[in-house]
Amino acid sequence: MAKPSATASRDAVRDTVPKLIDLSEKVLFGDVWERPNLKKRDRSLIVVATLIALGRERQLPGHLNRALDNGVTKDEISEIITHLAFYAGWPAAMTAAQIAKQVFAERD
């Protein structure tokens, strides 16, 4: 199964929240993600950890894929999940583990 693109995810709600999508594309992905003081790989580590800690499962698959595309390894993602079990809670880590397993399988 092909992974849905980030653009497809935004397109799905573009007519409902057009300004939010505009800000996502121009400010978040057009400016913030392109700033030079952090590498995209580091930004991905931060975002994945934050999504896991906050329990934002619906956003996690897309950002796990982005993290892998940005050079974060599967082993590193596994370590992030394990580490966060002690800071964000076991349920958050177990949920992230299930999502990561699915994302990894879709990429193999």
H or E stretch covering 106: helix 90-107
Residues 58 and 30 in one domain: no
User: Residues 80, 61: one domain?
Assistant: yes
Average pLDDT, the chain: 93
- Same domain as 88, residue 77: yes
Q: What percent of the chain has pLDDT over 70?
A: 94
Q: What is the pLDDT of residue 8?
A: 79
pLDDT of amino acid 5: 57
Same domain flag for 31 and 50: no
Is residue 62 within 8 Å of 6, Cβ to Cβ? yes
Structure tokens at 74: 């599967």
Whether the pLDDT of residue 1 is over 70: the answer is no
22 & 57 share domain: no
CA 95-97-50 angle, to 5 degrees, is 70
Total count of domains within the chain: 2
Residues 7 and 47 in one domain: no
d(CA 38, CA 59) in angstroms, rounded, equals 21
What range defines the domain where residue 32 resides? 1-37
Segment 46-92, tens digit of pLDDT: 999 999 999 999 999 999 999 999 999 999 999 999 999 999 999 99
CB 64 within 8 A of CB 103: yes
